[in-house]
Amino acid sequence: MKKFRDKYQEEFKQYDVSEVLIEKTKLKMKEVEGKSRRRSLWKMKGVVAAACMIITLTGVVAIAATYWSPHESTPSRWIDEFSGNNVPANPLNKVMQKDNMKFTFDNIIVDEDKVMIKVYVESLDKTPISNTNELINSYLGQQGFKSVKLYCDGKEISTHGSSARMDDGSVPYKATYNITCEYTGDIAGNNLKIQIEDIVGCDWISESIGFKFDSVYDMIQDEELLSEKEFTDILPAGDKKIYFSDKYPEAYIDNIGIAPSGEMNYKRLYISIVPGNEESAKALMERLMYREPDGSFGCADLFNEEGKNLYETEDGRLIMTINTERNDDLIIDNLKYVTLALNNGEEDVTYASGIWDLDFMVDAKNIVSKQIYTGMDFEYNDGSINFSINEMVISSNGMKMKGDMSKISGEKSFELKIVMKDGTEVNVEKLGHIGDVIDGHAIQNEYDMEGRFTQALNTGDVVGMKINETYIDLMIYKKGN
């Protein structure tokens, strides 16, 4: 089974990343406080991807998007290109059955360099496409097809393929995926084939600790324990003795407190644990975790001395921090669904094996063209953040933006929207913060950034862009005008 640290290191090994950048990224990880292990794994991947994008494209050693991540942890947080109004999707309505699997290829969006298809999958004998029980949870946010390839007249033209699971897993033998395949060449009017292989993913494994309560909520039903406490950094020792584990009968909880944590001061639940002996202390420090119903959890493997999700104090106690909300205060009632368990790591799983092909054709009129905006030389300055935009490229599901790094200043995040001709505003997400430059300077003056739209759009209908409340008329910069 793989540990989170192994995953973390694997992400960095894919790129030529400087030690300075790695250290800077570690500091950013500290900000991801009190979140589940799997949520933060994807945030870590986002940080790495953003940083390496800048290095690869421009040589600028900068994290241009602190939390830029194309894929969040749970399917509900993935961007669904097919949702929203006036999406430039066309029906495929093709059904294919093979290897006990049924595939319904629903809609398609075609760019000049990518194809996106929504596909519904069903296991005909109702074999689960994910695993969910008391101790195993499939991480749907990492589930998809092992490979996605595009062929034109029998020749592979794909440069990169990916997939994202979009449903919540409520029907174990059914799943919904958005598949994306980037390509080169002209595909209009030609015989095309999308080939997908194996449904793969990751199961998060836990082990019973013999938790003595139905939930953490039941464990802390005491007005004194639930009261907010003032303390700095470390929850002090208490005089309670709450024995919580059959597996470690000598361990008990002596204090519980609710207090703000991290830069945003969101309220978290702090639990002080007296291990009872050295053996229990070692085992609990290595494996104690909390589980949420969707399989999310926090454990020492991710957050020990840095993130403070579970750490050891000088007097030998263990302090666990529990967070039920991603970007908000702790909700006490949600602790009714949280339990304590032991971390057994994770396993890569193949849920269905096979190679499945879809033959189709694309009409030229249904291909969404990129829109290029040049000679902008637009400088934005609201007093707290200052940067320039020199050129932009907008495709159906995202945008790229270039500008002058020397004019970037400030740490404030900003809101960016694309404005359509009918007045509809489409959010640009995952753009994050601008200007987090390592060592206070950039190696080059230019930056490259990417953003994803909350839905696919028809690029020909784009008329403007809003940065916070400042409107930019893009028509005057449109190439060809």
pLDDT digits 0-9 by tens, 340-383: 989 888 889 999 999 999 999 999 999 999 999 988 888 887 77
pLDDT digits 0-9 by tens, 225-261: 665 666 666 888 988 899 999 999 999 999 988 887 7
**For position 180, what pLDDT does the model report?**
94
Segment (H or E) for 57 = helix 37-58
- Give the count of beta carbons closer than 10 Å to the beta carbon of residue 364: 10
Q: CA end-to-end span of the chain, whole Å?
A: 57
Alpha-carbon Rg for the chain, nearest whole angstrom, is 25
Closest C-alpha among 103, 71, 106 to residue 89? 106
Q: Are 137 and 204 in contact (CB under 8 A)?
A: yes
Q: How far is CA 446 from CA 254, 387, 417, in A?
A: 55, 11, 22
**For position 405, what pLDDT does the model report?**
60
CA atoms within 13 A on the CB side of 79: 22
DSSP helix/strand/coil, 220 = coil
Closest C-alpha among 255, 251, 474 to residue 375? 474
Closest C-alpha among 387, 399, 385 to residue 427? 399
Instruction: Give the whole-angstrom CA distance, residue 39 versus residue 5.
Output: 14
Averaged pLDDT for residues 325-332: 74
pLDDT digits 0-9 by tens, 38-97: 333 333 333 333 333 322 222 222 222 222 222 233 444 467 888 887 889 999 999 999
Q: Are 146 and 200 in contact (CB under 8 A)?
A: yes
Which residue in the block uniquely carries the two structure tokens 């361990």? 251
Instruction: Give the whole-angstrom CA distance, residue 481 versus residue 478.
Output: 6
Q: How far is CA 79 from CA 110, 122, 343, 464, in A?
A: 17, 22, 30, 22
pLDDT digits 0-9 by tens, 268-314: 888 999 999 999 999 999 889 887 765 555 444 433 333 447 888 99
Closest C-alpha among 132, 117, 141, 250 to residue 193? 117
Cα pseudo-dihedral 203, 204, 205, 210, rounded to 10:
-140
Closest C-alpha among 381, 475, 465, 386 to residue 426? 465
- Give the count of beta carbons closer than 10 Å to the beta carbon of residue 354: 13
Instruction: Give the whole-angstrom CA distance, residue 370 versus residue 391.
Output: 13
Instruction: Give the whole-angstrom CA distance, residue 151 versus residue 182.
Output: 11
Q: How confident is the model at residue 224 (pLDDT cuts 50, 70, 90)?
A: low
Q: Are 371 and 420 in contact (CB under 8 A)?
A: no
Q: Pull the structure tokens for residue 325.
A: 């909300």
Neighbour-count burial of 15, counting CB atoms closer than 10 A to its CB (0-12 exposed, 13-18 middle, 19+ buried): middle
Range(s) within the chain of domains with CATH label 2.60.40.1630: 76-206+347-366
Averaged pLDDT for residues 431-456: 60
CA angle 218, 221, 224 (to 5 degrees): 150
Indicate the range of 109-123, 315-329, 358-372, 442-456 predicted with least confidence.
442-456
Q: Which fold has domain 76-206+347-366?
A: Immunoglobulin-like (2.60.40)
**For position 349, what pLDDT does the model report?**
93
Which residue in the block uniquely carries the two structure tokens 């421009």? 58
Burial 80-106 (b: 16+ CB within 10 A, else e): bbbeeeebbbeebeeeeeeeebebbbb
Q: Pull the structure tokens for residue 283.
A: 């085992």
Cα pseudo-dihedral 94, 96, 101, 106, rounded to 10:
-10
